[in-house]
Amino acid sequence: MKRVLSGIQPSGQLHLGNYFGMMSRMINYQQTSDLFCFMANYHALTTTNDCQGLMANTYNAAADFLALGLDSDKTTFWVQSDVPQVAELTWILSNITSVGLIERSTSYKDKIAKGVTPNMGLFSYPILMAADILLFGSDLVPVGKDQKQHLEITRDIAIRFNHVYGEILVVPEPDIDKSTMLVPGLDGQKMSKSYDNTIPIFAPEKAIRKRIMSIVTDSTPVEEPKPVDSPLFRIYALFLSAAEKADLERRFTTPGLRYGDVKKELFERVMETFAPYHQEREYLENHPDHVRTILKKGANKARAVAENYLQKVRDAVGLEY
Ligand code: ADP
Ligand code: TRP
């Protein structure tokens, strides 16, 4: 059985981009794979020093995943910092990783361009991510397109390590789905917590409605056909079957369509899609001990696997004497 692993940075409310790009795909994989899933709170630390905020975001990300159907009996589900072995592997991998490889990271450059202070954690971010993946012998890593380069860096690091020390690490494959790899946000850019252009999965109805109503549309008059590459069309299409999508395309390209009507429909579709999970989400919100017990159990399972790989790495590089 293939080992499938992915993580999510708890740096804000989870949104439709996270859901389609990664979460729903991970949840589907639990039927057929040996699934490993974690909240990457060490990664979140690279861009925040808000202690209470980080704690709340970590808890909420875990509750979102569980409410959406992640089954902690079938999956190894934990918080990254509960398995600190990953920090040791990061250090070891840092020594076979060239500065040039990391300097080419576009996500690092993007974050600096947005005004994030470039601390060393942010710079080393891809090495920590490589350690996350390599510490568990992962075969497949489901992510959105924005993580593609991080996966390439991970593969480079694993290949380099194996070249120097022998075939120890599993070289993982990225798993990027074409139809969901880049969910647009309200403004048409990538939907992202850091662009404040998201539609959250679990938020009060009013807030979700407000967000959907503010999806940017053009000024094409009602009596003219509308473009199908707009964020409104692309977001709505994520919820539709092939036949429904073809019908929406027909409506967009036929004069008379009003954007406001489509937004209302989309709002209803979003609410209907996630309605079955609201009760469970609320239960988890009010039962923190239940969630923490699940996470601590998951951390124990993850730690056992991590220890095994880490021991092989420690032996190979000469840290055991
Ligand atoms: P954000 O950009 O909102 O901070 P993360 O970086 O935490 O999101 O992403 C968590 C997971 O969700 C990753 O696998 C990422 O590729 C995926 N993801 C995030 N935003 C999108 C999007 N707009 N479209 C598709 N996948 C996305
Ligand atoms: N960098 C990823 C993101 O921002 C989160 C992440 C951390 C991750 N470690 C990982 C994803 C390992 C996949 C595998 O979304």
Alpha-carbon torsion (280, 282, 284, 289), positive or negative: negative
Q: Encoding tokens for residue 54?
A: 């980080």
Ligand 1 contacts CB of residue 191 (under 6 A): yes
d(CA 200, CA 113): 25
Give the predicted TM-score (pTM) of the model. 0.95
170 and 213 share a domain?
no
- The domain spanning residue 268 has which CATH number? 1.10.240.10
Same-domain status, 177 and 209: no
Residues 304 and 257 in one domain: no
Residue 205, classified by CB atoms within 10 Å of its CB into exposed (0-12), middle (13-18) or buried (19+), is exposed
**Tally of domains in the chain:** 2
Nearest ligand 1 atom to the CA of 181 is 25
| Mean pLDDT estimate for the chain | 96
CA distance 250 to 228: 10
CA 233 to chain CA centroid, nearest Å? 23
Residue 278 has pLDDT above 90, yes or no: yes
Ligand 1 neighbourhood includes 46 CB (under 6 angstroms): no
pLDDT at 81 over 90: yes
On whether residue 196 sits in a domain, the answer given is no
**Over the stretch 84-116, which tens digit does the pLDDT of each residue have?**
999 999 999 999 999 999 999 999 999 899 888
pLDDT digit string (tens) for 137-162?
999 999 999 999 999 999 999 999 99
Regarding whether 251 and 233 lie in a shared domain, the answer is: yes
146 with 263, same domain? no
The reply to whether 206 belongs to the active site is: no
225 and 88 belong to one structural domain: no
Residue pair 54/45 in contact (Cβ under 8 Å)? The answer is yes
Distance 36 CA to ligand 2 centre (A): 12
Nearest-atom number in ligand 2 for the CA of 43 is 7
Check residue 6 and give its pLDDT.
98
Q: Is the CB of 193 under 6 A from ligand 1?
A: yes
Rounded distance, CA 250 to CA 235, Å? 16
Distance CA 269, CA 256 (A): 21
Structural domain of 26: 3-182+287-317
**Is residue 205 very low, low, confident or very high in pLDDT (cuts 50, 70, 90)?**
very high
**258 inside domain:** yes
Using a 6 Å cutoff on CB, does residue 181 contact ligand 1?
Answer: yes
Other CB atoms within 10 Å distance of the CB of residue 203: 16
User: Are residues 249 and 171 part of one domain?
Assistant: no
